[in-house]
A and B are shown apart, each in its own frame.
Chain A
Amino acid sequence: MTTTEQKPDWEEVQASPDFVLLRRRLRRFVFPMAGLFLVWYLLYVLLADYAPGFMSTRLFGNINIGLVFGLLQFVSTFVITMLYVRHANKNLDPVAEKIRNEVESRGEEK
C-alpha cells in the first residue's frame, strides 16, 4: 500500500509480545461485549414477542415495562459505545501506534 515499505516479516510482528497484547485486549473486550448486547437484545425481543403480558405491566402513568425496557436498549447502546471508545483510546490505540511506528520505521531503515 505504501511506496516506502519494505515487506516486514508479518509473522514475526504477529508473534511479538506487543501484538499479542493488542489482540488480547481487543478480543477480550469486543467478544464478551458483543455477546452481552446480543443476548440483551434477544431477551428484549423474546419478551416483547412471547411475554406481552409482562411487558404491558404499568409502572407509572401510561409508562409500562415494555417501554422502559425498549428505552433501556437505547441506553445500553449508548453506554456500550462510550465504554468501547474509552477502552480503545486508552488501551488499544497506544499499543497499535507503537507497533505501527516500529514496523514502519524498520521498513524505512532497510
Chain B
Amino acid sequence: MDSVGNVPPKTLTGTFDIVETYHRILEDDPEITMPVAAIEALVELLAQTDAVTVYETLDLIQTQSAFLKMNIPNSIPLQAGTELFQQYILSCLKPSKTSSGNFEAVRQHLVSNGRLFVHRAKNARDMIARHGQNYIRDGNIVLTHGGSRVVGALLRKAADVKRAGGNVRFKVIYVVKDQRSIECRTVIDSLRAKGIPVAEIDEGTVAYAMRKVDMVIVGAEGVVENGGIISRLGTFQIAQLAMAAKKPFYVAVETHKFVREFILSQDDMESDIDQKIIRFEPDYVEDPTPKTPIRNAVDFTPPKYIAALITENGPNVVAAVSEQLIFLYSV
C-alpha cells in the first residue's frame, strides 16, 4: 500500500449522491430492507469511486455512511447495513486463516455481487417464514402490527401449509393505523387471498382483543445489542399488553438488522432519531398530530418483552444478539 500522504486526494467521479441512491434503491424495490438498501448504496459508491488505496476507500465509505446517516430521519436500521459492510471489508483485509487479505479481490467481490446480497436478504426472509410457520398451530389467533414483510411472508407460508392439506386453520388480528394503512393493506389482501380470515382493528382495541389472541408476531426495523427491537410506533405498547396477558411476543427479523447500538429506553434513540412525536403546545392547535414523518415513527421494545427472535437461522433467544454482534465486531 502506498503511503497515504503521497496519493493525491481522489474523490468521486461525477455527482454521486448516496442519500439519493439510498432512496432510489428503496423505491425501486419495495421488497428491500433498509440495511440492505444502505449496503447497496455503498456498493454503488464502491463501483463509482476511483479511490485506489485501502485507506482512501475506507475513509470514503466511512464519511459517506456518516453523511447518509445524518440525512435520514430514522438512521438506526441503515446503520446496521453500513456497519456490517465496513466490518466485512475490515475483516477481509486482515490476512488470516479465513481471509486472503487481498483488497482488490474484496472490492471486486462486493461490486460484482450487489444483486446477490439483495437476493440473499430475500432468501433470509423465506427462511424465517419456514421457521416461523411452525409457531402457528391449528386454531390459533395471531395478532400482528405494521406492514412487516417478514411477518407477511411468515403468515402466508403458514397459510400455504393449510392449503397443502395440513390441518392449520388460523386467524389474524391486524392492528391497522390510518397513517400507514397502505403497507398493511398489501399484507392483509394477500392473506385474505389465501383464505385466512383477518380482523382489522384499531390500536385502541389491542387490550380488548388480547384475550382472544394466542401469540403476537411482529417485525422489526432493527435489533439492538441487548436484544430489544426498534419497530413501528405502537409495537412497544402491544408488547406490554401481550406480557400483561401472558401471551408470547415473537419478533420475526433477519440477522442483518442486528445493530451495534445499546438502547435501553425510548429516550436513548433521540440522538439518532428525532421524531418529534410529543410536542407541547401552549395554545390550541388545529391538528395536534405532528406533521413530521409519523408514518415512519418508531419506538423501542426492551428485550424482556420478547419471547424469541425468529431469524433465518431459527428461533433465537434475545441473549444471542449481543453474542453475535460482539463476535462480529471483534474480528
Decide whether A and B are members of one complex: no
The residues of B with any CB-CB pair to A shorter than 8 Å are: none
